[in-house]
Amino acid sequence: MKKKITALFLALSMVLTGFGLVPASAFSAGENIAQNKPATTSRADRYNADMTPAMAVDGDPSTRWATGAYLPERHGPTDENWICVDLGVVYDLSRVVLNWEAAYATSYDIQVSNDYTTFTTIYSGSADKASVQSIEVSGSGRYIRMYANSVFRADYGTSLYEFEVYGTPTSDQLVTTDTVQIHIAGSDNGWSICSTGTWAPKGGKTQIRFMPLDNCTLQSVLVNGEDMQSQVQPDGTLICQADEDLEIIPSYSRIPSAHFEAEDAKVVDGNDETISGTIVQDEAASGGAYMGSTGGKGFILESTVMANRISVAYASPNTGTILVYLLQEGDSYVNIGAINFSTTQGWYMDSLKIASSDALYIPEGSTIKLVPQVDVNLDYFTLSYGQLYPEESVGKDTVLAKNAYLSGASPTEDIMSTVGTAVKLDHSGQSVSFTVPEDIGEINVYNLKYRAEADTSILLTVGDSPAQTVVFPATRPHYYESFGEKEIPIQSGETITVALAENNELYLDSISFRYAEPIDRFVVDHLPSAGERIEVPMNGIWECTSSTFSAGDPVPQAIPEKFDNSIPVPGFWDQASIAMPNYVTSALWYRTTLTLPEKPADNAILHIGKAYYGRYVFVNGQYAGDYPYNFTSSNTDITSYLHAGENEIVIMLGNYNQQKNDPDCPAHVGTDGERNSFYSGMIDGVSLILNADPVVTALQTAPNLETGSIQTRTTLENKSDMDVTTDVTFRIYELGIFQNGTPTQDQRLVASYVEPDVTVPANSRIKLDVDAIYIEDCTEEKYWAPNNPYLYKIEVQTSGDTYSDRFGMRTFFFDPDTKLPMLNGEVHYLNGTNIAMNRFYEDPLRADHPFDPEWARAIYREFKDMHWDSFRFHNGFAPDIWYDIADEEGLMIMDEFAVFGGCSDGCTVETLKPEMYALMDERC
């Protein structure tokens, strides 16, 4: 009963005082006396500067005024949240209309004043959604304001599409107080608030509050040209006499900082134009808020401390990279590294993690730009200065320069060196002598870490060999790079001496030793005879080097002059003999030689299996072609570039970021929110195919178990300028069961078929279908199954080529009625797992396991021990050997294309089609 009485009392009170809400349909006619009148607000929306108070009195319901989020560290201890209109004269007020945006006030007052100092509340109300409220009021005043006591969401602030006021001028006008304008010059270093908005009562006083950011201090305050810094109170407030318009110019000085709240950072777009950031309130965040919707945006940190690492506190279900840029003279940014981050399994700061960069040189007072490549919620950034690695973590195959024998050279502190101390040489004749450690096994490669601001000549002595003059190329300022030699005899206990040959500054960090397989060279003894295909495997150790290749750079047309490193094929960037820095913005170059007895008269095709990211082929210094795709093989015709004798083969690979951000690149780089590193590298074999037209470019087989036959589709290509007519001969051999990669029986011819007089037109391809080739003695015990991986080989021969492949007599489908998997006509449940091979590629313990057939075979046998007979290659494919060995060991594979959680490189169905079709040609 008490509740009903209270409600009745409130209703009567509203009737008696003449206030209340009426529906929008009941709006009465009359002039909106607030329209186009001067208006001010307690604070501006930092990220929506165009949402001024004038937008709420312009008569346009599509524009709006907003205050934005309340941030105590910027706005002071009180959340002043209001809009005020100067009606010009005193009005008797009858009605106010509030057209709320979603940032509505859950409690507000309508207030009036004649002196812009003392305000009287004439109505108190609330909103519960974005809506239009028409409010009957009674009161008079020149100034009217809506004062929000509480809001729906603090990170929204308050926003009105329109603030309408209705009434009539009073018959007896009172004396009112005019206002003067307050203009406070903006600054990125701090925040300034006038408690009366952009106005102050003329002849009265007004309070200004200055709120420097964490790494700034207020240096001076000019008020109409007079320095009033001394009158600013410890809490940042300044009282100003407002006899005239006030022009207030605060200036702040930066204090080099090691800590930056992300929500305080300046936000820029891809053209470095300032844009709005998305600040989200979160009590779990460091400053009570974090920065969201960050992908592709730049976040500016100004006036940093000196540092050699930068860390970020973040939350994201994605895994990705934040590129780090340093502002140079001339206002241009240069990429200096990256922060790789892994998933936190959520967006909120209660699950945040810390991710750190590799070594970066950041001078004191620097401006840094950080650009997340995918969305990640950013809490704060921390810059640190200190030893990169403890000395005890240095491996036994590495000798620090500070521990070597020094002649005239001296140890010096260097934050970019491995343990914080390097050795400096600056006069001719100074030297450092490294002794090769004992008990590190066979070695033939050394890797010397150094830095020099200019090309520097040194005398290098290895063991008892004569000293040789070597030029160390200039490095990036403060950054260490590698110089080394491969395939040289080095013995434990020998000395390697680096002596300065000229007066110049050279810093030495360390030298490390290892063994690398010797470079492979490839030789062809003879060219193919009629109908023969010669396939020359070119896997092995190739020479390599790297060069800068960033997003937006043109494809290099010149081959590097020096290949002073080596790398396995197949293999990744991080498997090079001598460590190479910064794979994120580099191209990876491979080089080898191929010796031919004579120039090929027919076809010479360079076959490259899967390779990341994009491939560009050069033969004997000439550009021979490219292939942008990553998950399928390429076949580049290099016939015209070859000659008798030694030929140089060079392959350049791009990098993930360059290809991902190239709008003209049709290829897909793969999407994976749970992966950090995307190394370049060839993950499948390289071979040279020699044959003549017409050639077999693809072969598909479809077994028919009922008839013991296979249907085939063969793609034939004729690259010549004349039609070619040929017989096409098919032979099928029984291979049987394999043991450790070898058939357990001799191959036996079990079928043959000839399609006579097939004409392949000049410069074209055709598809040749054969409905049935019957296989001798194809009984059930020769069907392929996980417990009976029985294999056959098929050969297809033309007048110019012989192509072969393996297959099993098996069928697989899902029954449309029962939805059950059917293998060879019988229900066969799939027991197995997922393999995220592309994530394994970044594993620090990966070694060369993905390319080792025996390691793959051992994994498969463990699967079989667990009674698994199938699995899925998740989010990308494996090297080809994994598919071949699966056929031999009795495992079924489902391939998943490399799209996981969306398409971060902007791919579409249309852009994916070309490589999907190529994949089907390879797999079917």
pLDDT one-digit tens code per residue, 49-71: 789 999 999 999 999 999 988 77
In a domain, 690, yes or no: no
**Same-domain status, 509 and 407:** yes
In a domain, 787, yes or no: yes
**Same-domain status, 306 and 225:** no
Task: Tell me how many domains the chain contains.
Answer: 7
Q: Considering 450, 485, 514, which residue would you say is the last residue of a domain?
A: 514
Q: Which tokens in the block code for residue 73?
A: 């560290």
Give percent above pLDDT 70 in the chain.
95
pLDDT digits (tens, 9 = 90+) for 620-636: 999 999 999 999 999 99
Q: Is the pLDDT of residue 210 over 90?
A: no
Cα–Cα dist 658/669, whole Å: 10
Give pLDDT, residue 902.
Answer: 67
Reduced to 3 states (helix: H, G, I; strand: E, B; else coil), residue 294 is coil
In a domain, 369, yes or no: yes
Q: Is the pLDDT of residue 304 over 80?
A: yes
Residue 34: band (very low, low, confident or very high) from pLDDT cuts 50, 70, 90 = very high
Q: Is the pLDDT of residue 887 over 60?
A: yes
Do residues 75 and 193 lie in contact, with contact meaning Cβ atoms separated by under 8 Å?
A: yes
- The highest-confidence range among 440-449, 586-595, 655-664, by mean pLDDT, is 586-595
**Same-domain status, 245 and 265:** no
What's 795's domain CATH number?
A: 2.60.40.10
Cα–Cα dist 664/614, whole Å: 13
- The two most distant CA atoms of the chain are separated, in Å, by 118
For range 850-877, the mean pLDDT: 94
Q: Is the pLDDT of residue 802 over 90?
A: yes
Q: Is the pLDDT of residue 24 over 60?
A: no
Cα–Cα dist 616/651, whole Å: 6
Write the DSSP symbol of residue 744. Answer: S
Give pLDDT, residue 785.
Answer: 97
pLDDT digits (tens, 9 = 90+) for 760-777: 999 999 999 999 999 999
Which residues span the domain enclosing 721? 695-809
Question: Smallest Cα–Cα separation from 480: which of 512, 441, 525, 450?
Answer: 450
**Same-domain status, 166 and 189:** no
Q: Is the pLDDT of residue 411 over 70?
A: yes
Q: Is the pLDDT of residue 610 over 70?
A: yes
**Same-domain status, 159 and 67:** yes
Give pLDDT, residue 255.
Answer: 63
| 239 phi, psi to nearest 5 deg | -95, 125
**Same-domain status, 722 and 835:** no
Cα–Cα dist 838/339, whole Å: 20
Q: What distances in angstroms separate CA 111 from CA 16, 27, 121, 144, 861, one per listed residue? A: 19, 21, 4, 6, 81
**Same-domain status, 764 and 902:** no
Q: Considering 674, 706, 739, which residue would you say is the last residue of a domain?
A: 674
Give pLDDT, residue 214.
Answer: 63
In a domain, 682, yes or no: no
**Same-domain status, 426 and 567:** no
Q: Is the pLDDT of residue 7 over 90?
A: no
Give pLDDT, residue 441.
Answer: 85
pLDDT digits (tens, 9 = 90+) for 845-861: 889 999 999 999 999 99
Give pLDDT, residue 11.
Answer: 33
Q: Is the pLDDT of residue 729 over 60?
A: yes
Do residues 748 and 734 lie in contact, with contact meaning Cβ atoms separated by under 8 Å?
A: yes
Q: Is the pLDDT of residue 919 over 90?
A: no
For range 327-348, the mean pLDDT: 86
Report the predicted TM-score, pTM, of the whole model to 2 decimal places.
0.63
In a domain, 70, yes or no: yes
Q: Is the pLDDT of residue 211 over 60?
A: yes
**Same-domain status, 820 and 865:** yes
Residue 28: band (very low, low, confident or very high) from pLDDT cuts 50, 70, 90 = very low
Cα–Cα dist 658/678, whole Å: 12
What's 484's domain CATH number?
A: 2.60.120.260
**Same-domain status, 651 and 718:** no
> Is the model more confident about 77 or about 14?
77
Give pLDDT, residue 256.
Answer: 63
In a domain, 685, yes or no: no
**Same-domain status, 187 and 113:** no
> Is the model more confident about 298 or about 476?
298
Task: Using the structure block, give the residue that is written with the tokens 């991080």.
Answer: 574
- Category of 743 on φ-ψ map: left (φ > 0), alpha (ψ -120 to 50) or beta: beta
Q: Considering 160, 177, 194, which residue would you say is the last residue of a domain?
A: 177
Half-sphere CA count of 644, side-chain side, radius 13 A? 5
Omega before 570 cis (within 30°)? yes
Cα–Cα dist 351/349, whole Å: 5
Residue 14: band (very low, low, confident or very high) from pLDDT cuts 50, 70, 90 = very low
For range 670-690, the mean pLDDT: 86
**Same-domain status, 571 and 471:** no
Cα–Cα dist 665/370, whole Å: 25
In a domain, 41, yes or no: yes
Give pLDDT, residue 17.
Answer: 31
Q: Which residues of 117-128 are buried (b: 16+ CB within 10 A; e: fewer)?
A: eebeebbebebe
pLDDT digits (tens, 9 = 90+) for 434-492: 999 988 888 888 889 999 999 999 999 998 889 999 999 899 889 898 888 877 888 88
Q: Of 171-175, 526-530, 822-826, 854-858, give the lowest mean pLDDT range.
A: 171-175
Question: Smallest Cα–Cα separation from 369: which of 265, 291, 264?
Answer: 265
Cα–Cα dist 236/220, whole Å: 12
Pairing of strands 405-407, 431-435: antiparallel
Q: Of 16-25, 111-120, 531-540, 726-735, give the lowest mean pLDDT range.
A: 16-25
Q: Is the pLDDT of residue 8 over 60?
A: no
Do residues 710 and 796 lie in contact, with contact meaning Cβ atoms separated by under 8 Å?
A: no
Give pLDDT, residue 571.
Answer: 95
Residue 407: band (very low, low, confident or very high) from pLDDT cuts 50, 70, 90 = very high
In a domain, 5, yes or no: no
Angle at 328 between CA 322 and CA 331, to 5 degrees: 95
Q: What sign results for the dihedral spanned by CA atoms 568, 569, 571, 572?
A: positive
> Is the model more confident about 318 or about 105?
105
pLDDT digits (tens, 9 = 90+) for 241-264: 999 999 999 988 766 668 889 988
Do residues 570 and 611 lie in contact, with contact meaning Cβ atoms separated by under 8 Å?
A: no
Q: Is the pLDDT of residue 86 over 60?
A: yes
Residue 830: band (very low, low, confident or very high) from pLDDT cuts 50, 70, 90 = very high
Give pLDDT, residue 726.
Answer: 97
pLDDT digits (tens, 9 = 90+) for 517-537: 888 999 999 999 989 999 999
For range 819-843, the mean pLDDT: 92
Average pLDDT, the chain: 89
Give percent above pLDDT 90 in the chain.
63
Cα–Cα dist 425/497, whole Å: 13
